Structure 1
Amino acid sequence: MGDAFSLSRRRLLQAGAALGGAMLLPGLMHSAWAAGSDKPELEAVRVGFIPLTDCAPLAIASLKGFDKKYGITLVPSKEASWAAVRDKLVNGELDAAHILYGLLYGLELGIASKPQAMANLMTLNRNGQAITLSAELQEKGVTDLPALKKLIGQSAPGAYTFAHTFPTGTHAMWLYYWLASGGIHPFDDVRTVVVPPPQMVMNMRIGNMVGFCVGEPWNARAINDRIGFTAATTQDIWPEHPEKVLGTRREWVEQNPNTSRALVAALIDAARWIEASAENKRETAQILSRRGWLNTKEQYLTGRMLGEYDNGIGRRWQDAHPMRFYAEGEVTFPWISDGMWFLTQFRRWGLLKTEPDYRAIAQRINRTDIWKDAAQAVGGITPPSSLLRSSTLMDGTVWNGSDPEGYARSFAIQRRGA
C-alpha cells in the first residue's frame, strides 16, 4: 500500500514547469483552498486534546502555522480526561478533538453515552501506546505474559487490578486483547478500572493497580520513576494499528464542510512535517514538553518519539513500528476496516449484544470524502485503491474486514453472555 501513497513526483515537476520552473511554495500551492467558495466557514476552530505524545499534529499545526495556511486558526483546548473530551465535544464546547478511536465509535453507538451522530475525519497516529506492569509484579517474577498468567491463576478472581483510559477506548481494547491472548480473561480473572492518562503513574505508585495501558509519555515516565516496566507495546499487539483520530459531530461537518477540509489539511501537513526528519521529531518532543501541552520533561518524550525503546528491565531496541503520523499520507487515511475492527471487539466483549452492520456503521462515521478533499489540498498524496487493509495481530489472527462477525465470534476468550 505504500506505493499507492508515494509522492507524485511527476505531478510536482509538471506543476513546477507550469510555473516557469519556480519552486512550489506552500502559499502558491494552497491559496485557492482558503478563498472564494472554498473559504472555511469558521475562522477559529476549537480542538480538544489530552496531554499525550500523539496530540503532536495538533501542536505542530497550531505553532508552525499550518492552520493559517488553510485559512483557519486552531484554538487548542487541553482537557483533563477522555470523559471531559466526550462531554465538551457532544455539547458543542469543542468543534473537534484528538480522541480515542473506540470512544468516537462508542458515542455513535450509544455505549459511551446516549447515541450521538459522530464523524472521524482522519487518523492522527498509529502505534506508540504500551502496557506497563508494576515493579511489585516484577519482584514476584513477572516480566512477561506467561508469568502473569501463572500468577493470576494462583490468585482469587479480581485480586489484581489493571487500568485503561475509557471503557470503549483503544487502551481498553489493547489491554483486553493482550490479556486474552495470554489466556487471562479481562472481565473474569482480573479487575479493570478507568484512570485518566495523566493520573496513571500516580495511581500505580500508590498501589491502586498493578498494570495499565496508556499512551506516552506515561509508560516512559513509569520507568523513569522506577515504579514499572514496559511489558508490551501496542504495536506488539497489532503492528501499525490505528490509535487517535480527529473526531467531531456529524452535524458540525455538514454545517462546516470547508472548515472540516481545512482542519484535516492542516493536520496532515503538520504530520508530514513531523516525519520529515529526526530533527523535526526532536523539536516536536521539545514543543510537547512545554507547560501548555504535556508539561513534562523532554527526555520522557524524545526516545519513543524516535522509536528508541528501553523496557526498563534490561531490553533496548529500535522499534520496527514506532509511533507514526504520516508515512506518505497512509497513516492519516480513515480506513473503513480500522473502524470495523473496533466494532468486532465491542461485540467480542459484550458491549454490542446483537450483530451490527459493521461496514455501514464504519462508512457512516469515517469521512473518507473529507479526507480526500483535504489530501488534494495538501498535494502529493494518492488515495488508497481500497477502503480495507489487511493486518496480522499478535496471536496470528488476520484482520481484513471481510467477515467481521465471524472474526468477532472466533476468539476462544469472550465475555459471557455476549
Structure 2
Amino acid sequence: MSEFFNQISRRKFIVTAGVSAGAVLLKGCLENPPEPGGIAQAKQAEAVKLTPEITPETTTVKLGYIPIVEAAPLIIAQELGFFKRWGMTNVQLAKQASWGSMRDNTEIGSAGGGVDGGQYQMPMPHLMTEGLITKGNTKIPMYVLAQLNTQGNGIAIANKHAGKEIGLDLAKGGKIVFDQLKSTKNPFTAAFTFGKVNQEFWLRYWLAAGGINPDTDVKLIPVSAAQTVANMRTGTMDAFSTGDPWPYRIVKDKIGFLAVLTSEMWKNHPEEYFAMKAEWVDTHPKATKAILKAIMEAQQWLDNFENREAAAAILGRRNYFNLTPTFLKDSLQGNYDMGNGRVINDKSMAVLYWKDERGSVSYPYKSHDLWFLTESIRWGFLPPEYLNKAKDLIDRVNKENIWREAAKEAGIMEADIPTNTSRGLETFFDGVTFDPENPTAYLKSLKIKKVNI
C-alpha cells in the first residue's frame, strides 16, 4: 500500500471555515467520528458563524440520489449535520428508483415534486443541457459542481461463466465465450444502469479493449441498479456494470464473480458527479456554495478510512441502501473477494471521495468532461461535430469556478485546490492514452469504434 494511503487511513481530516470574522475550527463529527454502534446518537456538527457574505439565500433544497456508494457524500453530509452546519437546515434527500427517474424528476424540479439536483452519471448533465436525453428533447440547463467519487465500480459475471478466463484482459482467453455466443439466439447479455453514460462506457471500453465489438458481438441492456442482483439470479443476463455494493453482493450471494474492478481498468478514474439545475444555482449562489462546502466536508470524513465502518452502518440503513453493513464494509476498505479465487486488498483501489494519487477527487476537471463527450462520439451517441462544440458545452455546464470559491471560503488548504482545469494525460489498462489536448488522436488510436474519423 502506498504511503499516501497509509497517511489517509491515519489522518483525522480537519476543515476550517473561512468567514469574515476569521477562520472557525470545525468540530463535532470530524474530530469525534461516531462509533459503529452509536451512530443514531452522533452529535450534530456545530454551526459555523454565518455572515451576510455567506448566508444562503434559502435553507431548502431537494437532492436526488441512487443507493450506490457514489451517493455517500450526500448521505453523510445529511446524517452528520454538515448541511446544517453551513446554514442549509432543510435539505431533503430523495431516493430515486432509477436513473430515468432522476432525469425526469430533475426536469420537473422540486416545485413540481421532483428534485433540484443531486447525483448524476456523466455526461448526463451535458446531455440534459442539450436536450438529448430528456422528454420531448427539452433543454434543461445543468451545472456540474463537483465530482462525488472515483472508483467503487465493478463488472460482475454470472457463475455459469466461471473458469472461462473472463477477466481484465479478455484477449487472453475470455473472448472465446463471446465469440461462441454472438451467433446464437442468446448472445452474451450485459447490463448497465442507464444508457450513454458511465456504466455503459465502462462495459464498452472493457469489451472493445478485448477485441469484442459491443454493438455487434453482445447484447447490451439497461437495468436499474436495484434489479441487477435479481436479474443475475434468474439468469436473464450474463454480466452487469454498476456501483458498489451491487457487484460485491453478487459474490456474497454466490451467483456470480467480479471479472474486473473499474479501478483496474482506469486507476483513479472520474466516476459520478454532483450537479444542479442552472436556474437553481443562478438564483441561489450562496446556498449552492453552502451545499458544496458540506459535500466537501463529507468527502474528507469519508476518506478517513477509520470512519468507513461507521459509514457502512449509515449507508446501510433502511431509508438509504437497506442493506446489512456487511455488504459495504469490505469494499469500502478496498478488500474485494472477487469470487473467482482472486482477492484484492488495497485501499488505493477502493472508492475514494476527496483525494487520490493524482490529486483532487472532488474537483470537477474539465478534461474529464471532455473524455466522456469524446467517448460519446466514439460510440455514435454524439455526432463527430461535437468535438468542435465540446469546449463550449463544457464551459457552459462545468462550473469548477464555483467549486474553487466554495473551497476557499471553507478554508480548504491551497494545495488541495487544483490550479488547472485539466488533469492531463490519462492512461488505460490496455495502454491507450487520452490527451485532452488532442481528443481526435485518441479516437483515431481506437481499433473498435462506431465513429468514422
TM-score w.r.t. the length of structure 2 is 0.83
Q: Is the 8 Å Cα contact of residues 130 and 234 (structure 1) preserved in structure 2?
A: yes
Alignment of 1:246-395 (within 5 A): 246-276=274-304, 278-319=305-346, 320-327=348-355, 330-356=360-386, 357-382=389-414, 383-389=417-423, 390-395=425-430
Among candidates 142, 146, 169, match of residue 118 of structure 1: 142
Query: In the alignment, is residue 133 of structure 1 matched against residue 142 of structure 2?
Result: no
Q: Aligned-pair distance for 1:380?
A: 2.6
Q: Aligned-pair distance for 1:408?
A: 2.6
Q: Deviations over 1:189-236 (max 9, x none)?
A: 101000010110101111111011000100110001111101011111
Q: Deviations over 1:21-51 (max 9, x none)?
A: x98345999835x331432122121111111
Among candidates 24, 38, 45, match of residue 54 of structure 2: 38
Give the gaps of 5 or more residues in structure 2: 9-14, 29-44
Q: Is the 8 Å Cα contact of residues 66 and 119 (structure 2) preserved in structure 1?
A: yes
Q: Aligned-pair distance for 1:96?
A: 1.4
Calculate percent identity across the aligned residue pairs: 33
Give the letter aligned to residue 80 of structure 1: A
- The residue that corresponds to 2:213 in the other structure is 185
Give the letter aligned to residue 340 of structure 1: L
Query: In the alignment, is residue 174 of structure 1 matched against residue 202 of structure 2?
Result: yes
Q: Is the 8 Å Cα contact of residues 167 and 260 (structure 2) preserved in structure 1?
A: no
- The residue that corresponds to 2:190 in the other structure is 162
Q: Is the 8 Å Cα contact of residues 30 and 377 (structure 1) preserved in structure 2?
A: no
Query: In the alignment, is residue 101 of structure 1 matched against residue 117 of structure 2?
Result: no
Question: Are the structure 2 counterparts of residues 388 and 140 from structure 1 closer, same or farther at C-alpha, using a change threshold of 3 Å?
Answer: closer
- The residue that corresponds to 2:449 in the other structure is 414
Q: Is the 8 Å Cα contact of residues 166 and 194 (structure 1) preserved in structure 2?
A: yes
For residues 124 and 381 of structure 1, the distance between their equivalents in structure 2, rounded to whole angstroms, comes to 19
Which has the larger displacement, 142-151 or 159-168? 142-151
Give the gaps of 5 or more residues in structure 1: none
- The residue that corresponds to 2:438 in the other structure is 403
Q: Aligned-pair distance for 1:110?
A: 3.0
TM-score w.r.t. the length of structure 1 is 0.90
Q: Is the 8 Å Cα contact of residues 122 and 332 (structure 1) preserved in structure 2?
A: yes
For residues 281 and 141 of structure 1, the distance between their equivalents in structure 2, rounded to whole angstroms, comes to 33
Q: Aligned-pair distance for 1:109?
A: 3.1
- The residue that corresponds to 1:50 in the other structure is 66
Which has the larger displacement, 309-318 or 188-197? 309-318
Give the letter aligned to residue 174 of structure 2: L
Q: Secondary structure at the match of 2:123?
A: helix
Q: Aligned-pair distance for 1:152?
A: 1.4
Q: Aligned-pair distance for 1:154?
A: 2.3
Higher relative contact order (CA 8 A, sep 6+): 1
For residues 149 and 391 of structure 2, the distance between their equivalents in structure 1, rounded to whole angstroms, comes to 22
Q: Aligned-pair distance for 1:107?
A: 1.6
Q: Deviations over 1:226-272 (max 9, x none)?
A: 11101011111111111111111111111111111111110001111
Which has the larger displacement, 332-341 or 370-379? 370-379
For residues 116 and 148 of structure 1, the distance between their equivalents in structure 2, rounded to whole angstroms, comes to 42
Q: Deviations over 1:360-412 (max 9, x none)?
A: 22222111111011111221332212110132111212223111233234311
For residues 332 and 29 of structure 1, the distance between their equivalents in structure 2, rounded to whole angstroms, comes to 23
For residues 215 and 95 of structure 1, the distance between their equivalents in structure 2, rounded to whole angstroms, comes to 23
For residues 125 and 299 of structure 1, the distance between their equivalents in structure 2, rounded to whole angstroms, comes to 21
Q: Aligned-pair distance for 1:417?
A: 6.5
Q: Deviations over 1:33-87 (max 9, x none)?
A: x331432122121111111122111111001110011110321111110000111
Q: Aligned-pair distance for 1:139?
A: 5.7
Q: Secondary structure at the match of 2:162?
A: helix
Give the letter aligned to residue 398 of structure 2: N
For residues 96 and 324 of structure 2, the distance between their equivalents in structure 1, rounded to whole angstroms, comes to 19
Question: Are the structure 2 counterparts of residues 416 and 379 from structure 1 closer, same or farther at C-alpha, using a change threshold of 3 Å?
Answer: closer
Which has the larger displacement, 185-194 or 357-366? 357-366
- The residue that corresponds to 2:100 in the other structure is 83
Give the letter aligned to residue 91 of structure 1: I
Q: Is the 8 Å Cα contact of residues 30 and 378 (structure 1) preserved in structure 2?
A: no
Question: Are the structure 2 counterparts of residues 342 and 143 from structure 1 closer, same or farther at C-alpha, using a change threshold of 3 Å?
Answer: closer
Q: Deviations over 1:328-372 (max 9, x none)?
A: 881100100010000010000001113222222222211111101
Q: How many residues align?
A: 404
Q: Is the 8 Å Cα contact of residues 80 and 196 (structure 1) preserved in structure 2?
A: yes
Q: Deviations over 1:108-166 (max 9, x none)?
A: 23332223211111000001100001101116564562333112112334711100011
For residues 320 and 197 of structure 2, the distance between their equivalents in structure 1, rounded to whole angstroms, comes to 22
